[in-house]
Amino acid sequence: MPRFLLAFTLLFSVSSFAQTQDSLVLQPGPLDGKDAIVWSITPDSTWGWNQEATLTAWTYQGDPSFKRFYIEFDYSNIPTGAIIDSAFIFYNNNPSAPSHGGLHSGSNTFWVRRVTSAWDEDSITWNNAPSDTTLNQVQVGASSSNTANYKIDVSDLVQDQLQYGNHGFFMRLVTEATWRAVVCASSDAADSTNHPAIKIYYTECNPPVATYTYNATGNTVDFIPLFNAPTGVSHLWDFGNGNFSIADTPTYTFPTGGVHTVCHTITTSCGADTACQQVVLCSPPTAAYTHSVDSNHVWTFVPQDTTASSYWWDFGDGTFSNNMIGVHTYSVAGLYPVCLSITNACGVDTICLTFEVTLVGMEEHWNPDLSIYPNPVSSVLHIENGGSEELLRYEIFDMSGVMVQLDPQPSTEINVENLPAGTYLLKIIQRNSTSIVRIVKS
């Protein structure tokens, strides 16, 4: 059977920063209502069509007879997460009911409970009735008159239905012993004004979002939440060092600079949220440096920022240093990338610069009266001497400074066929000068 809202009435709506309060009334009729009695005398019969919502402990043809009532309302128009402020069932006397002359009787106190499993009004019977729970059950006192209408506070039960699943309400007498009766109307009753109804007041919540920004002057920081209101909001600030504040917009002075993780928790009637972010009270480092080389070919690297917490030098030849000033001597000439990584409380920065290192004690210089060819050379290197100074000898060194070839009585040709391919330094010694030049063996 389709379920529709016969009546949906917005009584009021008050908007604020975090929530809206609304109410609705549901009073379904024969086509859209879902309710039924079950009767112990006919335990396998369905009574979803019956106009009565009767609770009885009586007799039928001399046998004990009990009737109970189930009803379910459609809450689909209540927003997810809504908080139930109050809810009331209107359970009305049915004066035209055939049972008991339409009159309540006896000590007819009854329970209203929450149904915890699914059921259908066209198939529910005494024997297959759904389960229920006594959690937050409501006891309704005995009727004040034999035609009384009931207004029953079911606020907790409705909140439970929204939380755990809505399968409606179950009603039965507290004491099922003769002679007691509650004679009310179902949603199939002829008089629509007597149909059961429920009126629900609820608060629609917008959960808070704990975002914030801040302004820092030195180590003093002003914190500004981006979700705020004059009332109904509580703040908790955790400054990450054991200090806290419950002010809306606190100002806090950190004992040290650096990076601090500050968490902000905001709580409203609709929930709570926490956001943590890093508060930066310094600038990230810049890894710039200068260098120098002394007469002994000792390289010195000096960072421009001498306030960082750590330094790391990579000299490019497989050696490293964590001193602030990097000092290094290279054993092999060549091109080396020298990298500096510098760290402070706000981050890390790295820079790499490439330097050419010449062999210790073997800087290139050349007598302009001399010329050599070809260079690169594969087998024989020719030397032409345009000056008057005779050649005394020559020496060839590899780039680690090891002498690999010597001729104490040089000619104008140098045979380098036995040298491995690579770069070398040729040293030519004359009477009044010494020339050094780089050659490449191909």
The residues spanned by each domain of the chain are 14-205, 212-280, 289-357, 370-441
Residue with tokens 């079911």, as numbered in its chain: 154
Confidence of residue 266 (pLDDT cuts 50, 70, 90): very high
Average pLDDT over residues 195-202: 96
Burial degree of 420 (CB within 10 A; 0-12, 13-18, 19+): exposed
Considering the four listed CATH numbers 2.60.40.3080, 3.40.630.30, 1.10.1130.10, 3.40.50.300, the one that applies to the domain covering 370-441 is 2.60.40.3080
Give CA–CA dist 39/396, Å, rounded.
Answer: 117
CATH architecture, domain defined by 212-280: Sandwich (2.60)
Does position 210 have pLDDT exceeding 80, yes or no? yes
Cα Rg, the chain, nearest whole Å: 48
Question: Taking a C-beta distance cutoff of 8 angstroms, is the pair 350, 415 a contact?
Answer: no
How is residue 63 written in tokens? 């046998």
Does position 8 have pLDDT exceeding 70, yes or no? no
Average pLDDT over residues 83-90: 94
* Residue 364 confidence (pLDDT): 62
Per DSSP, the three-state class of 392 is strand
The 3-class secondary structure across 205-265, one letter per residue, is: ECCCCCCEEEEEECCEEEEEECCCCCCCCEEEEECCCCCEECCCCCEEECCCCCEEEEEEE
Question: Taking a C-beta distance cutoff of 8 angstroms, is the pair 236, 63 a contact?
Answer: no
- CATH superfamily placement of domain 289-357: Immunoglobulins (2.60.40.10)
Q: Which residue from 370, 375, 369, 381 is spatially nearest to 407, judged by alpha carbons?
A: 381
Output DSSP code: residue 76. Answer: T
Give CA–CA dist 63/41, Å, rounded.
Answer: 8
* Residue 18 confidence (pLDDT): 47
Q: Work out the mean pLDDT of the chain and round it to a whole number.
A: 88
Measured on CA atoms in the order 127, 130, 135, 139, is the torsion positive or negative?
A: negative
Question: Taking a C-beta distance cutoff of 8 angstroms, is the pair 307, 287 a contact?
Answer: no
H or E element that contains 412: none
Pick the residue with more confidence: 388 or 246? 246
Does position 337 have pLDDT exceeding 70, yes or no? yes
Give CA–CA dist 182/104, Å, rounded.
Answer: 5
Burial degree of 315 (CB within 10 A; 0-12, 13-18, 19+): buried
H or E element that contains 161: helix 155-164
Q: Do domains 289-357 and 370-441 have the same CATH topology?
A: yes
Amino acid residing at 130: P
Amino acid residing at 191: D
Q: Which residue from 227, 225, 228, 221 is spatially nearest to 243, judged by alpha carbons?
A: 221
Cis peptide before 376 (omega within 30 of 0): yes
Does position 438 have pLDDT exceeding 70, yes or no? yes
Does position 14 have pLDDT exceeding 50, yes or no? no
Per DSSP, the three-state class of 67 is strand
Least confident range from 168-182, 219-233, 322-336, 425-439: namely: 219-233
Measured on CA atoms in the order 182, 187, 191, 195, is the torsion positive or negative?
A: positive
Burial degree of 243 (CB within 10 A; 0-12, 13-18, 19+): exposed
Does position 168 have pLDDT exceeding 60, yes or no? yes
H or E element that contains 324: none
Confidence of residue 218 (pLDDT cuts 50, 70, 90): confident
Which residues make Cβ contacts (< 8 Å) with residue 312, sequence separation at least 6? 320, 321, 322, 340, 341, 342, 343
Q: For the chain, how many helices (H) and strands (E)? A: 1, 33
* Residue 362 confidence (pLDDT): 56
Pick the residue with more confidence: 55 or 408? 55
pLDDT digit string, tens, across residues 394-429: 888 876 667 888 888 778 889 999 999 988 888 888
